[in-house]
Amino acid sequence: MIKNKTDLKEYMEKDKIALEKKRKRPRIFEDEIWRFEIYLRKHEYYLNTGKNKIALLYYKMRHHNLGVKLGFTIPCNVFKGGLRINHYGYIVVNDNARIGEILRYPSRGKYRCK
């Protein structure tokens, strides 16, 4: 659960490493999965801290819209740092699930935690 800015940066850095990205920011016309994970993490941060309601609504909308575009239904506060999604397409995660660090979601439908 992301409780402060340092947790947010840590989660986003672990996601970036899991996705094997070298760039500082995602590309505009590529890296949709990376952008989705950034919106997911920022949505979690503003939801958990309750600091800025406008930012919460903004990231909630971006998280939802990009999730619809990519076919992902991943709620907040389910995955710890290190999430890696390898493909577009239908992924549905129950909001009662709690999944540990460094998850690699392969294209065959089975997942592994390291």
Residue 47: predicted pLDDT: 97
Distances (CA, A) of 102 to 11, 14, 31, 52, 85: 10, 8, 19, 29, 11
Q: Which of 97, 92, 103, 75 has the alpha carbon at shortest distance from 18?
A: 103
Residue 108: predicted pLDDT: 56
Structure tokens at 114: 């390291």
Quote the pTM value. 0.87
Q: Find where tokens 């493909």 sit.
A: 87
Mean pLDDT over 16-40 rounds to 93
Q: Which pLDDT band, with edges at 50, 70 and 90, does 76 fall under?
A: very high
Classify each residue of 20-30 as buried b or exposed e, where b means 16 or more C-beta atoms within 10 Å of its C-beta: eeeeeebeeee
